[in-house]
Structure 1
Amino acid sequence: MAAIPDDFTGRWEHEKTHLRKSFFRLDIAAFLICALVGLDTLGTVAAKGPQGLVWLLFLAVFFFLPYGLLVAELGSSFPFEGGPYVWTKLAFGRFTAGVNQVLYWLSNPVWLGGTLTIVAVTTWEKFFFDLPGAWKYLAGAIFIWIGALAVLLAFRVGKWLPTIGAVARVVLIGTFLFSVILYGAKHGVHLRGRDFKPSYVGFVGLVPILVYNYVGFELPSTAAEEMTAPQRDVPFAIARSGVLAVLLYGAPILGTLLVLPGSAIGSLGGFVDACKAVFTVYGGHVAANGSVTLTGAGSVMGKIAAIGLIIGVLTSGVTWSMGGDRAQAVACADGAGPAFLGKFSARFGTPIRVNLLSSVLSTVVMVAAFLITKGDTQKYFSAVLGLAISTTFISYMLAFPSLYVLRRKLPEVERPYRSPVAGLVAALPTFFVVFTLVQLVWPGLGVGWFGTSGDPAGSLPSGFAHDRLGYLLSQLVPLALCVGLGVLFYVLGTPTRRTRRAEPEHGDVANR
């Protein structure tokens, strides 16, 4: 590792002494399952029809596979706390990496306070009871701050929540699929072979969601210096969890399509509605208008599944917060942000200040979105999901090419794992990220071109029909503010960048 340029600030060198090695191979695998298998967008993909499965497999080969190879090399060759922040810094410099990292970090409170909270609240209302008025805000706040508590705990304790989340996913999806088989044997299924025919309209509508659900490989590397053996465990965990993630994501989409007619699948509650329908095999019925009533054992199964789904989306948010907050704290301690946010707790080894700020931001996003959309949860879901994807993917536009740049810039660094054809491995996921960003900013671009069928306006997200300007502003204005915040953070980190590594510890304390 001596060949790697070592220009971390004295402040980070002091803060890293609070880290504890408690991240093992099994923990990394569970972490990845929670990061990769997002339950909040299963309905969105299913609502696009059976071709979603075709594009799911297509992207598994041309995006997910090279992306996994890319992170396996970077994570094992540059095993520093902060993961993608450090890779981008080594490739493009501290300023670029710092602004990039703010976008990566902000996507998590937007996602947690937005899509995950609304899925959790919607699931509760479908299986338990409605939450009128202020009760909906209270429920969302409870959901967010339970996650905050888990993130604040020492990693050796907090890491168990992603493990519980990984188990909950396997049990929930396994139970759902078994129930689908029983339901299909009794009532038949809705799929036909010709329904799987792919189209460009379907591709542009699905790629942002599918690619977003295929990202997260780099997340464990944000805690690389808390791993016991990152150079060995990172490639191994990526290989195992990658295969399992494709199965766990594709199977419930297929199950949803089998039991619900296309017109009955909503992007927000599609998977939840499918769960309710199939659990009628244990007690209950589906009315002629599609409404579902669960009774007896069916009602019990539904409530258990609802709790499992809520745990699943909560652990997704916790996992991403653990990783994103750590990387942001490293960036701040390294002079790419305000020193105040670069503090790691000596007791817990976690970046408590960034953790709390993230939770506050998640709460603000939740309240603001409910107020702005006046309770239109579908519009809220679409706008916030698009923004969460955009902020994440802008950061990947630099993180992914880091593989190729560092191969040329630091060829002498020992690489326990080397990706084949580094240029192609870096180019493929970068291409899909750029394509996704274009489709998020201007949905439907290319639809109707070169003889293709369809109306570009039909690609606008649910809740924004005939309101392209409104959707465009919902994406561009927050993105501009995020970039501006990244620049401001870098300016505020100026005193930290002047902190020399040779300073004694009391000097570091005095500068706080």
Structure 2
Amino acid sequence: MWVGGSLCIIALTTWEEFFTPLPGGWKYAAGLLFIWGGALAVVQSVRIGKWVPIAGAVARIVLLGFFLVSVVVYATRHGVHTLPAGDFAPTYAGFVALVPVLIFNYVGFELPSSAAEEMTNPKRDIPLSILRSGLAALLLYGGPILGILFVLPSERIGSLDGFIDACKAVFTVYGGSIAADGTVHLTGAGAVFGGVAAAGLIIGLLTSGVTWAMGAHRAQAVACADGAGPAWLGHISEKHGTPVRVNLLSAILASLLFILALNLTGGDGEKYFAAGLGLTICTTFISYVITFPSLAVLRRKYPSVPRPYSVPGGRLGVRLVSALATAFVAFTVVVLIWPGFGVGWFGTAGSAADALPASFAGQRLRYTLSQVVPLTLFVGIGLAFYAAGARTRREKG
């Protein structure tokens, strides 16, 4: 969902903004190349495949570091504008709009545990990697985004194309210009640096999907081996040590999603991005609605199992953390399917219609169908998988 949805369309939009348009079948070819390039990396063993996310991390660090320097140069040359304090005042409408993306930033840290058996000292390495990546993300993403907000008008960065254009505008300090209508044209060193940054962004997007898939696919394979799905999907390749069958199935589904979404949106990147991002977060969070309560359940059923990472506060602390986390992700699922849920209720300001993505303005039914129809399909597949695992569950007693 993530690779074939939002990651793929961001990569394609970046390519078209910085390099050349992708007319007709070229867009399909580029999207499928992006998806299957990632699949090839995921199939490899952790010993080999780990270099893909490492390369992506290096690319992001270099790219974002250079971009932050470029933002400072842009600000020095063109000045900065103040950010009105009123824009940051908390409102319910703002909370409903932002909570899905904010919480999405904090899920997935558990995925490295899926490959713990292939690590020398996971008890030490996993917490340290989470701490390091969290601090790096804060600096390398927070800094450039804050800089963009200071140097560019907010109305120019309110959409996918707008944000990429905003990033592109920063590189005009090396060569290029911004037309009165906001169109950015890079020349000379600006075009060179912009192209390198765009390539780095595309590589970063690809490796983000690969990193997530390396953990998620292992978890899926183990679940199938335990009877939550077809037993044949629980097979781990002896040659690669990876769940090749799950990897390939995931790539096939991502390809189908990409082709279907591109046709349903008529090639409209903004609609594709909005629907794909919402669906990606929603499907992820539905799994967490089930996962988070299991913390309290497993602590109660198996209190003596050694646990390298534990929630403080005893049973009360565990229940509190489980309840809060579950409530947040359940609420997120609701507001993703129905943006603006609760806006205008009980005296709150705003209109629920304003919470729709800009590309779906006035098209509530169409947006809702873009979420509900795929979710219904996925639930059906999940139930079919669970039924297919019945024999495995019986054999395991």
| Shared fold per TM-score greater than 0.5 | yes
Name the count of aligned residue pairs.
Answer: 392
> Following TM superposition, by how much is the alpha carbon of 1:498 offset from its aligned partner in structure 2, in angstroms?
4.2
Q: Which has the higher contact order (CA 8 A, sep 6+)?
A: 1
Corresponding position of 2:66: 175
Instruction: Map 1:109-508 onto structure 2 (within 5 A).
Output: 110-194=1-85, 195-420=87-312, 421-499=317-395
Alignment partners' CA distance in 2, 1:417 and 1:213: 20
> Following TM superposition, by how much is the alpha carbon of 1:270 offset from its aligned partner in structure 2, in angstroms?
4.0
> Following TM superposition, by how much is the alpha carbon of 1:442 offset from its aligned partner in structure 2, in angstroms?
1.2
Is the CA contact (8 Å cut-off) linking 1:259 and 1:274 kept in structure 2?
no
**Residue type of the alignment partner of 1:405:** V
**Residue type of the alignment partner of 1:486:** G
**Residue type of the alignment partner of 1:138:** A
Residues 140-187 of structure 1: CA distance to partner in whole angstroms, max 9, x if unpaired? 011111101101112110111111111111111111111111101111
Is the CA contact (8 Å cut-off) linking 1:252 and 1:271 kept in structure 2?
no
Alignment partners' CA distance in 1, 2:343 and 2:126: 40
CA RMSD across the alignment: 1.7
Is the CA contact (8 Å cut-off) linking 1:179 and 1:281 kept in structure 2?
yes
Is the CA contact (8 Å cut-off) linking 1:220 and 1:323 kept in structure 2?
yes
* Stretch of structure 1 that moved more, 210-219 or 353-362: 210-219
Is the CA contact (8 Å cut-off) linking 1:256 and 1:271 kept in structure 2?
no
Alignment partners' CA distance in 2, 1:416 and 1:329: 23
Q: TM-score, normalised by structure 2?
A: 0.94
Residues 279-300 of structure 1: CA distance to partner in whole angstroms, max 9, x if unpaired? 1111111122211111111111
> Following TM superposition, by how much is the alpha carbon of 1:386 offset from its aligned partner in structure 2, in angstroms?
1.0
Is the CA contact (8 Å cut-off) linking 2:156 and 2:163 kept in structure 1?
no
Is the CA contact (8 Å cut-off) linking 1:253 and 1:271 kept in structure 2?
no
> Following TM superposition, by how much is the alpha carbon of 1:384 offset from its aligned partner in structure 2, in angstroms?
1.4
* Stretch of structure 1 that moved more, 441-450 or 415-424: 415-424
Alignment partners' CA distance in 1, 2:82 and 2:239: 55
Is the CA contact (8 Å cut-off) linking 2:83 and 2:150 kept in structure 1?
no
Residues 81-140 of structure 1: CA distance to partner in whole angstroms, max 9, x if unpaired? xxxxxxxxxxxxxxxxxxxxxxxxxxxxx1111111110010001111101111111110
* Stretch of structure 1 that moved more, 179-188 or 418-427: 418-427
**Residue type of the alignment partner of 2:34:** F
* Stretch of structure 1 that moved more, 371-380 or 240-249: 240-249
* Stretch of structure 1 that moved more, 343-352 or 246-255: 246-255
List gaps (5 residues or longer) in structure 2: none
* Stretch of structure 1 that moved more, 463-472 or 154-163: 463-472
List gaps (5 residues or longer) in structure 1: 1-109, 502-512
Partner of 2:160, secondary structure, is coil
Residues 248 and 435 of structure 1: is their aligned pair in 2 closer, same or farther, counting only changes over 3 Å?
farther
Q: TM-score, normalised by structure 1?
A: 0.74
Partner of 2:2, secondary structure, is helix
Alignment partners' CA distance in 1, 2:108 and 2:169: 31
Alignment partners' CA distance in 2, 1:499 and 1:425: 35
**Residue type of the alignment partner of 1:356:** L
Alignment partners' CA distance in 1, 2:82 and 2:32: 39
Is the CA contact (8 Å cut-off) linking 2:282 and 2:333 kept in structure 1?
yes
Partner of 1:401, secondary structure, is helix
Residues 439-486 of structure 1: CA distance to partner in whole angstroms, max 9, x if unpaired? 112111121223322111000113211121221122122212211211
Partner of 2:358, secondary structure, is coil
Residues 276 and 340 of structure 1: is their aligned pair in 2 closer, same or farther, counting only changes over 3 Å?
same
> Following TM superposition, by how much is the alpha carbon of 1:416 offset from its aligned partner in structure 2, in angstroms?
3.2
> Following TM superposition, by how much is the alpha carbon of 1:265 offset from its aligned partner in structure 2, in angstroms?
1.0
Residues 411 and 345 of structure 1: is their aligned pair in 2 closer, same or farther, counting only changes over 3 Å?
same
Alignment partners' CA distance in 1, 2:308 and 2:241: 28
Corresponding position of 1:6: none
Partner of 2:310, secondary structure, is coil
Alignment partners' CA distance in 1, 2:147 and 2:162: 11
